[in-house]
């Protein structure tokens, strides 16, 4: 029974739990057992909270047995949580030595929403340190491995959540997306991930990387599962100053509508600048096949141009490090986290020694870049110019959405590369975000849905679907229609 339960989609598992065909305890235990079987090799989890998850599962079962209506559509279905959201009952480390074993005194709003929805939290997943990276190799606790090929990366920064889904250790997961950290791991593991519109999922209790870019979001193995989770975690939060006071978008309804397979009247824009001869040939072939499929479903496909996307990478890698430089100043060894002190050091020496020991190489690199970009004499030339480019990119999106309802591109220019292959070449690593980061700069929403495997190497490829701010339901309609037409993709693991 355990193996069967781990292979069910979250929506199927929820139906069985709510009808009392199986219990949440059985489903949760099955996934805990699965973690024990496979995670020693994959390293998707930094912390497994088996006891807490089973307590939550028992509570969900008790409520259902009492005849109460399930508190959410996913009540009783377990989940994996990226280790960047604050939790009071397990560590929140952001995969950094500087927060090793730190336990938050409060829950993130998203954590609270999961608990209130009756969703047992299996544990915290591995990531690039403070969400800085595209491969989950920057974790202080070792890299996560891709279930499709354990010699390869699972994407980043949310590779732990994506690998947990792809290896059936969890039916649902939570990630964050600053420049593609939900979508790129989804693409290279053949899972589904959505970056919601900025401000529609609370960032309260989400440890900040770049505050104007970070966005928590849902991850699943199907578009419907991802939509169900999206509706659980979305909503206005007065504790988050960037939260948007708007109703939650009807993404579940849109996913169910899309599954019927009809996209007549939907205009799909292919972004000219998000396609290049430098992309892996198998990625382009998979993308072209996906566009043909959308056309066959009745969508009107047009080409759109977003000329300022050419400068998105440069803009992003000035804005993000600048915000990182500011946000990570709070890790000063004075109030919480790691403290390196031989007893005869000044406060400044303690801070310097702690940061030297506690931060990894990529985090230090971005702090230095950001501090330089914000320094006197360089602010306008670098950070100020990057903000102007950000505005131009948003205008490009506005013009494109006058011609199309959604935009599409490959999610990543490449399939997953070998572990260690790009660790010493930061620019090569950054190029994996080419297609995803424009959406973050504009604050819009986007999704990655599997588009099959590359003819080059048999590894997963993702189709990115983008939509304007507060039009998240468009992603789910198009994504579900494409998913239904595409058909199932072979599992990477036994």
Q: Which range marks the domain in which residue 17 is found?
A: 2-258
Average pLDDT over residues 220-239: 98
For residue 195, indicate whether it is catalytic. no
Q: How far apart are the first and last CA of the chain?
A: 15
Identify the H or E element spanning 47.
strand 45-48
For residue 15, indicate whether it is catalytic. no
Handedness of CA 476, 477, 478, 479 (dihedral sign): positive
In a domain, 455, yes or no: no
pLDDT at 1: 42
For residue 135, indicate whether it is catalytic. no
In a domain, 423, yes or no: no
Q: pLDDT at residue 50 above 90?
A: yes
Nearest to 71, CA basis, from 110, 113, 39:
113
Average pLDDT over residues 61-85: 96
Q: pLDDT at residue 2 above 80?
A: no
In a domain, 123, yes or no: yes
d(CA 323, CA 209) in angstroms, rounded, equals: 7
Nearest to 371, CA basis, from 412, 329, 418, 404:
329
Q: pLDDT at residue 119 above 80?
A: yes
In a domain, 121, yes or no: yes
- CATH at 232: 3.90.1300.10
Q: How many CA atoms lie within 13 A of 492 on its CB side?
A: 29
Identify the H or E element spanning 79.
strand 79-82
Q: Tell me the pLDDT band of 375, cut-offs 50, 70 and 90.
A: very high
Q: Tell me the pLDDT band of 339, cut-offs 50, 70 and 90.
A: very high
In a domain, 223, yes or no: yes
**Least confident span in 3-7, 139-143, 316-320, 372-376:** 3-7
Exactly one of 16, 72, 82, 124 is catalytic; which is it?
82
| pLDDT tens digit sequence for 317-330 | 999 999 999 999 99
Higher pLDDT, 343 or 82: 82
The CA-based diameter of the chain, rounded to the nearest angstrom, is 72
In a domain, 252, yes or no: yes
Nearest to 128, CA basis, from 96, 97, 98:
96
Average pLDDT over residues 333-343: 92
Exactly one of 11, 24, 104, 157 is catalytic; which is it?
157
Q: pLDDT at residue 494 above 70?
A: no
Average pLDDT over residues 335-363: 94
d(CA 425, CA 250) in angstroms, rounded, equals: 42
Percent of the chain with pLDDT over 70: 99
In a domain, 156, yes or no: yes
Number of domains the chain is built from: 1
Q: Tell me the pLDDT band of 46, cut-offs 50, 70 and 90.
A: very high
Exactly one of 24, 181, 322, 409 is catalytic; which is it?
181
Question: What count of other Cβ atoms lies within 10 Å of the Cβ of residue 345?
Answer: 15
CA 104 to chain CA centroid, Å, is 22
In a domain, 97, yes or no: yes
| pLDDT tens digit sequence for 94-107 | 999 999 999 999 99
pLDDT at 3: 52
pLDDT at 492: 85
d(CA 409, CA 386) in angstroms, rounded, equals: 23
């Amino acid at each position: 029974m355990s193996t069967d339960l781990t292979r069910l989609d979250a929506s199927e598992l929820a139906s069985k739990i709510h009808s009392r065909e199986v219990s949440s305890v059985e489903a949760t235990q099955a996934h805990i057992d699965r973690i024990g079987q496979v995670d020693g090799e994959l390293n998707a989890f930094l912390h497994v909270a088996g006891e807490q998850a089973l307590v939550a599962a028992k509570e969900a079962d008790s409520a259902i047995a009492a005849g109460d209506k399930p508190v959410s559509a996913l009540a009783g279905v377990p989940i994996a949580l990226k280790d960047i959201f604050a939790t009071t009952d397990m560590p929140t480390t952001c995969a950094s030595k500087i927060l090793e074993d730190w336990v938050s005194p409060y829950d993130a709003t998203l954590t609270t929403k999961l608990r209130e929805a009756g969703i047992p939290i299996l544990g915290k997943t591995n990531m690039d340190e403070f969400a800085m990276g595209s491969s989950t190799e920057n974790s202080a606790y070792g890299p996560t491995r891709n279930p499709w090929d354990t010699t390869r990366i699972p994407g980043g920064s949310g590779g732990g959540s994506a690998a947990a889904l792809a290896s059936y250790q969890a039916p649902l997961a939570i990630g964050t997306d600053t420049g593609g950290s939900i979508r790129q791991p989804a693409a290279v593991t053949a899972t589904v991930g959505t970056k919601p519109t900025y401000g529609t999922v609370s960032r309260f209790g989400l440890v900040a990387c770049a505050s104007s870019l970070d966005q928590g979001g849902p991850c699943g193995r199907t578009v419907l599962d991802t939509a169900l989770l999206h509706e659980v975690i979305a909503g206005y939060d007065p504790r988050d100053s960037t939260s948007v006071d708007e109703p939650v978008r009807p993404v579940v309804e849109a996913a169910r509508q899309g599954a019927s397979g009809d996209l007549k009247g939907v205009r799909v824009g292919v972004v000219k600048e998000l396609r290049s001869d430098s992309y892996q040939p198998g990625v382009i072939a998979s993308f072209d096949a996906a566009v043909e499929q959308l056309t066959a479903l009745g969508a009107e496909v047009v080409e759109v141009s977003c000329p300022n996307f050419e400068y998105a990478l440069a803009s992003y890698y000035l804005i993000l490090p600048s915000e990182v430089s500011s946000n990570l100043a709070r890790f000063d060894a004075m109030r919480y986290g790691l403290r390196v002190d031989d007893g005869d050091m000044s406060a400044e020496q303690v801070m310097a020694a702690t940061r030297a020991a506690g931060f990894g190489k990529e985090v230090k690199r971005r702090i230095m870049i950001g501090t330089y970009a914000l320094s006197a004499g360089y602010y306008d030339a670098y950070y100020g110019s990057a903000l102007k480019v950000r505005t131009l990119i948003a205008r490009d999106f506005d013009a494109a959405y006058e011609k199309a309802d959604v935009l599409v591109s490959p999610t990543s220019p490449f399939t997953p590369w070998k572990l260690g292959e790009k660790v010493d070449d930061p620019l090569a690593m950054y190029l994996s975000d080419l297609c995803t980061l424009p959406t973050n700069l504009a604050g819009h929403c986007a999704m990655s849905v599997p588009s099959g495997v590359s003819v080059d190497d048999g590894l997963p490829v993702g189709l990115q679907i983008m939509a304007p701010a507060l039009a998240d339901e468009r992603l789910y309609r198009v994504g579900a229609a494409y998913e239904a037409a595409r058909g199932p993709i072979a599992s990477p693991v036994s």
